[in-house]
Amino acid sequence: MKKFLLLLALAAPLCLRAQNSHGGIPDDVYYLMPSFGHGYILFMGQQPAQGLLNICALDNSLRFMDGEGNELQATNSENIVKVIIDTVSFMHYDEVYYRMFPVTPDMGVARRRDVRIITKKKEVGYGGTSETASVRQISSVYTDGVHIDLSPDKQYPYEVEEVLYFYKGSGVYDFTKRNLRKLFPGRKAEIDAWFKGGGSLPGTVDEAQALLRKWM
């Protein structure tokens, strides 16, 4: 009970969202997990909280279910370090949730998903903000004054982009020669030779993990 109350304390203000009101975006795209699952929220300087969790890819917000099955949105998430849902871990870094694919206990591949709704006026995606009026359906997003209605009868074209990074400790980094040389200081010559020989940056998680293992 104490942990559930701690989780609720994150979500002020709270709002409800009608199910399946994503403007035509499938659940497995709209969320980072295909369904809500039991999980833990790890904080900096606080005890963990737990509940039924998911993460919205459209606005990078942590979502959870209350005891009545209502979906709520957690705000004031600056102290969240990591979210674990079922067996999948997400690092919270610079206001973005990255799915983690470990290579070692403190290093691995981080995948970021951005979903953007395409409108005639403007694209809205990461950086948008969910409506946060009390007791209101989370059925819209807005940013820079552009409002998008996500009610069930609305359908929007959308774009999905997934970008690979690597993480080390609590930081997330681009796959660049400079960053790889910092990650593996004892392998600088090999990394330089690999890039000089036409080595290409990874396009899949498996390729990215193999690349990190190459210089371990």
Residues 121 and 18 placed together within one structural domain of the fold: yes
Residues 160 and 56 placed together within one structural domain of the fold: yes
Number of domains within the chain: 2
Residues 127 and 159 placed together within one structural domain of the fold: yes
Residues 36 and 49 placed together within one structural domain of the fold: yes
Residues 65 and 38 placed together within one structural domain of the fold: yes
Tens-digit pLDDT profile for residues 8-64: 334 333 333 334 547 778 888 899 999 999 999 999 988 999 999 999 998 899 999
Residues 60 and 148 placed together within one structural domain of the fold: yes
Residues 184 and 169 placed together within one structural domain of the fold: no
Tens-digit pLDDT profile for residues 135-157: 223 455 554 445 566 666 677 78
The residue range of the domain holding 196 is: 176-216
Q: How many CB atoms lie within 10 A of CB 121?
A: 10
Res 24: pLDDT? 79
Q: Is the pTM of this model over 0.85?
A: no
Residues 93 and 104 placed together within one structural domain of the fold: yes
List of residues 6+ apart from 117 with CB closer than 8 A:
23, 25, 58, 123, 124, 125, 141, 148, 156, 157, 158
Tens-digit pLDDT profile for residues 63-110: 999 888 888 888 778 899 999 999 999 999 999 999 999 999 999 999
Residues 42 and 98 placed together within one structural domain of the fold: yes
